[in-house]
Amino acid sequence: MSFLRYLMLLSLIAWLGGLIFFSFVVAPTAFAVLPTRHLAGSVVSRSLNSLHWVGIVSGLVFLVTSLLYSRYTTGSAHPFAARHLLVVIMLVLTCVSQFGISPRMASLRASVGEIDNVPLNDPARVQFNALHHWSTRLEGGVLLLGLVVVYLTAQPHA
């Protein structure tokens, strides 16, 4: 049982730790240190892609181990427990970002070249900025939901 709980916690640590590190270290550092915003955007985009895959794998590991843990400790997997539903929502948000928003942003960046050279009122720039805002909101949502999952998982009865 303790190994399942260990895997549950490890998967959350990997996912949320990655989100926190990305948000507060990788992205700001890339834009502060690299010579162009275009290059920084490329680094951040590539890092976000990796982060999404860490999240997808971690979310699946958490779900499997948490369902098994619940089954072994209570006799029922409790698939509709709050922590399971929240992780499913986190996975959906991550997949929307990975397979919906990120490819569209990459396509826009490729079609216009250096996005910062595109006027702010250009339709491609407006669309890129809107997608960027949605990407940021989704990542923030995943982080907040993940913190709730950590709290729920840390409870003695979890």
Domain range list for the chain: 2-154
pLDDT of residue 141: 98
Residue 113 has a pLDDT of 86
Distance CA 86, CA 76 (A): 18
* C-alpha–C-alpha distance, residues 27 and 10, integer Å: 24
Q: How are the residues of the chain apportioned to helix, strand and coil, as percentages rounded to the nearest 5?
A: 85, 0, 15
Distance CA 46, CA 113 (A): 17
| pTM of the shown model | 0.94
Q: Residue 98 is encoded by which pair of tokens?
A: 């990975």
> According to the model, what pLDDT value does residue 158 have?
56
What separation in angstroms does the CA of 71 have from each of 4, 62, 75, 153?
A: 11, 14, 5, 15
Profile the chain (158 residues) by mean pLDDT over runs of 10 residues: 94 98 97 94 97 98 97 95 98 98 95 89 94 97 98 84
Given this model, what pLDDT does residue 115 score?
A: 84
